[in-house]
Each structure stands twice: as structure tokens, then as C-alpha cells.
């Protein structure tokens, strides 16, 4: 089972939105997937409650101390991918998630406040045994090239940076409100295309 952890030291950068988007994309491609929600705010689990199809993707609310057992159960139940969503505030959860994962996704917004957090994230990754990790720019403005500057800055800090950028698109929030992802809400939209491209990029890492 592949394990993708989504971590970051800042709130509201799109960790949960990305986790849900990638999980639904995996489901659409026929991959059995579980989302392991380590956030005490349970944003992913609450999203699943709002969903008509509550089973797919499966969302399990989990405490850090139970992470390995929950991942093992997902594997036993035939999951081929587990996506761990974490809270921005908990370093312990981020370390545990990154340690359990074979790939780590680091969403950041294209701004200096977010770039600054990457120093701490690097320490977390080191403590977790340096898993494959990639920064993805989320909520990029459609106009301007701030996202490119942020990509360059993250690269200069020694991070691998996804060439796929997730732009600020209303479909993400509108979909989340009703327990969907942008891909389900607007299948032919740009948000859907970007999530699919990010899924492919991560898959090929």
C-alpha cells in the first residue's frame, strides 16, 4: 500500500482540500483508497459526513497514537493507497505521518509566510527519516507569476517542487461545502484537470 502524507506547518494552505481531491481522483481511477484524518478538527471526516457516497473514499478519523494500526487495517482491507491528512498545528502528527509515508506532499500558498515555514518542515522531514517529499503551490492567483517565484524560492531552499500548480478556483470550496471535490463538482473544469495532473505527477515520483 502506498502511503501519502500531506503535511505543513501552516493552517489553511489546502492540505485537506488536496487530500480529498487526490483521494477522489484515485477512486475514479479504480484505486481503493482510504483517507486517514489525523486532524482533531476532523475536517476530512466532516466532509465525508456531508457526502452522499460516504464509503468512497473511506475516511477514518484517527489519533496519532493509533496511526500504524489504522494504516495496517486499511492495508488488510485491500486499500492500495492511504492519504494521511494532518493539522497544521501538530508537529508530532506531522512527524508520525511523514515517518509512516513513502511520499510526502507539502502544500504551500505562494507567499513568504508559507515559504518561511519550510525551514521547520525540513526538520520534520529529517526527523521522519527523509522520505520523498515534494512542495506543491496551492491557491495560486491565476494572474501574475507569484507562483513561479515561490516555486523557484522553494527549489533554492533545496526542495523538490511540483511543476503542477493548483490555482485558486471557486470549485474547490463550493464542492467541499456539499461533500464533493472539484473533480466531481465540475468534471471538465480546470480545478479537476489540475488535481488529475498532480495525481499523475505524484504517482510517477
147 close to 159: Cβ distance less than 8 angstroms: no
Residue 10 cell numbers, joined: 501552516
Check binding of 147 to ligand ATP (CB under 6 A).
no
Q: Is 83 helix (H, G, I), strand (E, B) or coil?
A: strand
Smallest gap from Cβ 38 to ligand ATP, in A, equals 10
Question: What percent of the residues of the chain are helix, what percent strand, and what percent coil, each to the nearest 5?
Answer: 45, 15, 35
Q: Does 43 bind Mg ion (CB under 5 A)?
A: yes
Minimum gap (Å) between residue 37 Cβ and ligand ATP: 10
Is 151 one of the binding residues for Mg ion (CB under 5 A)?
A: no
Residue window 167-186: x/- pattern of binding to ligand ATP, with contact defined by CB under 6 A = -xx--xx--x----------
CA distances from 55 to 19, 79, 100 (A): 16, 13, 24
User: Which residue in the set 5, 14, 94, 97 belongs to the binding site for ligand ATP (CB under 6 A)?
Assistant: 14
Q: Which residues bind Mg ion (CB under 5 A)?
A: 15-16, 43
Amino acid at each position: 500500500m502506498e502511503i501519502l502524507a500531506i503535511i505543513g506547518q501552516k493552517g489553511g494552505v489546502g492540505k485537506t482540500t488536496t487530500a480529498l481531491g487526490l483521494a477522489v481522483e484515485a477512486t475514479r481511477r479504480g484505486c481503493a483508497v482510504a483517507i486517514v484524518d489525523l486532524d482533531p478538527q476532523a475536517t476530512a471526516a466532516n466532509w465525508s459526513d456531508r457526502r452522499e457516497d460516504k464509503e468512497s473514499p473511506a475516511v477514518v478519523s484517527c489519533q496519532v497514537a493509533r496511526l500504524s494500526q489504522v494504516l495496517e487495517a486499511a492495508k488488510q482491507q485491500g486499500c492500495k493507497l492511504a492519504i494521511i491528512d494532518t493539522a497544521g498545528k501538530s508537529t508530532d502528527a506531522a512527524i508520525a505521518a511523514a515517518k509512516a509515508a513513502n511520499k510526502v506532499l507539502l502544500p504551500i500558498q505562494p507567499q513568504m509566510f508559507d515559504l518561511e515555514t519550510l525551514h521547520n518542515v525540513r526538520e520534520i522531514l529529517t526527523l521522519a527519516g527523509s522520505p520523498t517529499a515534494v512542495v506543491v503551490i496551492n491557491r495560486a492567483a491565476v494572474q501574475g507569476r507569484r507562483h513561479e517565484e515561490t516555486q523557484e524560492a522553494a527549489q533554492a531552499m533545496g526542495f523538490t517542487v511540483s511543476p503542477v500548480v493548483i490555482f485558486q478556483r471557486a470549485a474547490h470550496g463550493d464542492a467541499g461545502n456539499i461533500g464533493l471535490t472539484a473533480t466531481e463538482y465540475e468534471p471538465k473544469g480546470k480545478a479537476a484537470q489540475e488535481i488529475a495532473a498532480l495525481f499523475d505527477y505524484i504517482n510517477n515520483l
